[in-house]
Amino acid sequence: MGLIDVRPIEGCGKLRRWYRATISVPLPVLNVNVYLADGDPPLLVDCATMAEECRDGLLAAFDAAGVRPERLVITHFHPDHAGLAGWLEGLGLSVAASAGTVELMEYYSRGRDSFEQTIRTFHSKHGTPERAVDEICNVSDWSDLVSFPRHPIVLEPEGGVAAGLVLVDAPGHCYGGACLWDKAEGVFLANDQVLGGITPHIGYEEHWAPKADPLREYKRFLSKLRGFSFDQILPGHGEELAQWEDEVQRIEVHHSLRERSLLSLAGDDVVTAYEIARRIFPDADSGLQLRLAVTEAMAHLQYLVSEGLMERREEGGMFVYKANAGISALERDLASCQVARGNN
Ligand SMILES: [Zn+2]
């Protein structure tokens, strides 16, 4: 495999031409979109995973598009988007990302000892059984999937990347995540914040502060997006979204329904995040799927607690949650929503 497809983005060419290259990755997601732009400087946005097929795929994409990128911009630090950063730096590209992404890269680059205890403590305190915590620690070690850059450049929040191209703070899917808005060409590079037909994973990451509320920030990001004017969204996976407002609405409805479903699955029980995750995602019983399930359940629990619909307390060294009598209020809010269920 390697390069699956490369093609120009329609309607571009005032200041630069954008190309989408789809590269296969050795991960459950199977492939990722990276974007190339000619212009000054020539750019690569995201870079797939540290694997031979991805290295070959990227080089083939440069040839096919006729673009020799001088700068790599990383939208968010996940191994399907940032894995080859160090390798590309070695080829002479400068590597740039938001302050949060650079912080996360440095955190993971210090090796497993630096993050394992944080992950272990988090999942243990949220009720995950010991054996499953071991599996989660194993899948959290990305040292085989990422080559870390030595000298990443921090891009200013909401700052310019090139003429007519700005960085947009994009919380929700990943700590430090950013999108790129090419005002000159009318396109928005959305990383995994908005995807066609899929609901992006919004998780509460293990290293976050206790009051972090990624789902609230993500909802704020979606409503901010509605105020922007652009022709299409270029996502980190799948096809361009011409009807992007419909996708945004679908995702918003999905989250509201997920909150209602979580409250109903909790019922009158006192539950841990792990127990709720297993009720929402009964098939996610180990490894990466379980980590994603627990962190997503946590994002919803944090949101519901901050909305006053659930309570959180510590009991015997573990965090537990219980629904308040607020379900009817949430259901009232949802009464006008049409069901257009997304998957995860
Ligand atoms: Zn991705």
Model confidence over 100-137: pLDDT tens digits? 999 999 989 988 888 899 999 999 999 999 999 999 99
Q: What is the DSSP letter of 251?
A: H
Positions of the chain with pLDDT under 70: 326-344
Helix intervals (H) in 165-209? none
Q: Give CA–CA dist 153/71, Å, rounded.
A: 10
CA 308 to ligand 1 center in whole angstroms: 32
Angle at CA of residue 58, ends 110 and 37, nearest 5°: 100
CA 341 to ligand 1 center in whole angstroms: 21
CA 30 to ligand 1 center in whole angstroms: 10
**Chain centroid to CA 91: how far?**
27
The reply to whether 3-252 and 255-339 are identical in fold is no
CATH superfamily, domain 3-252, is: Ribonuclease Z/Hydroxyacylglutathione hydrolase-like (3.60.15.10)
CA 54 to ligand 1 center in whole angstroms: 14
Structure tokens at 87: 């390798």
Structural class in CATH, domain 255-339: mainly alpha
CA 175 to ligand 1 center in whole angstroms: 13
Q: Give CA–CA dist 50/100, Å, rounded.
A: 21
CA 37 to ligand 1 center in whole angstroms: 20
Q: Give CA–CA dist 67/51, Å, rounded.
A: 21
CA 32 to ligand 1 center in whole angstroms: 6
Amino acid of residue 74: I
Contact 256, 250 (CB under 8 A): no
CA 43 to ligand 1 center in whole angstroms: 19
pLDDT recorded at residue 335: 46
Please report, to the nearest 10 degrees, the dihedral formed by the alpha carbons of residues 197, 198, 200, 201 taken in order. Answer: 160
CA 269 to ligand 1 center in whole angstroms: 35
CA 191 to ligand 1 center in whole angstroms: 7
CA 29 to ligand 1 center in whole angstroms: 7
CA 113 to ligand 1 center in whole angstroms: 25
CA 190 to ligand 1 center in whole angstroms: 11
Q: Which residues place a Cβ less than 5 A from the ion ligand 1?
A: 80, 192, 236
- Read off φ and ψ for residue 263, nearest 5 degrees: -60, -40
CA 179 to ligand 1 center in whole angstroms: 13
pLDDT tens-digit readout, 4-41: 999 999 999 999 999 999 999 999 899 999 999 999 99
pLDDT recorded at residue 172: 94
pLDDT recorded at residue 37: 97
Mean pLDDT, the chain, integer: 91
Domains of the chain, by residue range, sit at 3-252, 255-339
pLDDT recorded at residue 333: 56
CA 295 to ligand 1 center in whole angstroms: 16
CA 100 to ligand 1 center in whole angstroms: 17
